[in-house]
Amino acid sequence: MYNAHYHRFTIFLTACTFLLIVAGALVTSNDAGLAVPDWPTSFGNWVKIPPMVGGVKYEHGHRMVAQFVGFLTIVLAVWTQRAETRAWMRKLAWAMLGLVMVQGVLGGLTVLMLLPWWVSTLHAMAAQTFFSLTMLMAVFASRRWLDAEPSPVEDGGSVSLRVLSMAGIAVVYVQLFLGAGFRHQGMHFLPHVIGAVAATGLLIRLSVRALSGFGTIRPIKAAASSILGLLFLQILLGFGAYLTRVEWGRDAVQPQLSMVLTTVGHVAVGALLLAHCFLLAVQAYRHTLPARGDSVRAEKAAAA
Burial 107-139 (b: 16+ CB within 10 A, else e): bbbbbeeebebebbbbbbbbbbbbbbbbbbbbb
118-177 positions binding ligand HEM, by CB under 6 A = 120, 123-124, 127, 130, 172, 175-176
Interface mask toward ligand HEM for 195-234; x: CB under 6 A: -x--xx---------------------------------x
Helical spans, DSSP H, in 141-217: 143-147, 161-183, 190-214
**Closer CB to ligand HEM, 199 or 280, in the complex:** 199
Task: Determine, following the binding rule CB under 6 A, whether residue 102 of this chain makes contact with ligand HEM.
Answer: no
Minimum distance of ligand HEM from residue 246's CB (angstroms): 6
For residue 150, how many other CB atoms are within 10 A of its CB? 13
How far apart are the C-alpha atoms of 283 and 218, rounded to whole Å?
10
Q: Which of 6, 13, 14, 28 binds ligand HEM (CB under 6 A)?
A: 28
Minimum distance of ligand HEM from residue 20's CB (angstroms): 5
Task: Determine, following the binding rule CB under 6 A, whether residue 275 of this chain makes contact with ligand HEM.
Answer: no
What are the counts of helices (DSSP H) followed by strands (DSSP E) for the chain?
A: 10, 0
The answer to whether the Cα torsion of 284, 206, 180, 229 is positive or negative is negative
**Closer CB to ligand HEM, 161 or 172, in the complex:** 172
CA angle 15, 16, 18 (to 5 degrees): 65
Q: Which residues contact 209 (CB under 8 A, 6 or more apart)?
A: 157, 161, 164
Task: Determine, following the binding rule CB under 6 A, whether residue 276 of this chain makes contact with ligand HEM.
Answer: no
What is the maximum span of the chain, computed from C-alpha positions, in angstroms? 65
Binding part of the chain for ligand HEM, among 4-12, 27-35, 80-88, 284-292 by CB under 6 A, reads 27-35
Q: Which residues bind ligand HEM (CB under 6 A)?
A: 20-21, 24-25, 27-29, 33, 39, 59, 62-63, 66, 69-70, 100, 103-104, 107-108, 110-111, 115, 120, 123-124, 127, 130, 172, 175-176, 179-180, 182-184, 192-193, 196, 199-200, 234-235, 238-239, 241-242, 245, 263, 266-267, 270, 273
